[in-house]
Amino acid sequence: MSGSRRRRAPPAEPEYRPGQLLDWRDSTHWSSNAKPCRYCDRPTHLRDSKRSPAHKVCAEAALAQQAADTAAAYHQEGTR
């Protein structure tokens, strides 16, 4: 057995495409009365999993930003 080990490359960053993160086809994501979106303040009938008003696109953008922030913090932590 040799003393050197081959290092694995880090996993590739998944490519984000709008419309792929959330599936809100279930009727629980719909309300008959429109309320302001928690992200953009425009009216929406959609509700997130916690029943807060949110457009699907706005929620996906927030999730993508949160994932990017987490990845950046993870990479920063590794360089200290």
- Residue 8 to residues 1, 5, 11, 71, Cα–Cα distance (Å): 18, 9, 9, 18
Question: Considering the domain boundaries, does residue 32 fall inside one?
Answer: yes
pLDDT tens, residue by residue, 8-66: 666 666 555 555 667 888 898 999 999 999 999 999 999 988 899 999 999 988 988 98
- In 3D space, the residue among 63, 59, 65, 17 whose CA is nearest the CA of residue 39 turns out to be 59
pLDDT tier, 73 (very low <50, low <70, confident <90, very high otherwise): confident
Question: Considering the domain boundaries, does residue 73 fall inside one?
Answer: yes
pTM: 0.64
Question: Considering the domain boundaries, does residue 1 fall inside one?
Answer: no
Report whether pLDDT(1) > 60. no
Which range of residues forms the domain containing residue 33?
Answer: 27-78
Q: How many domains does the chain have?
A: 1
CA distance 50 to 27: 14
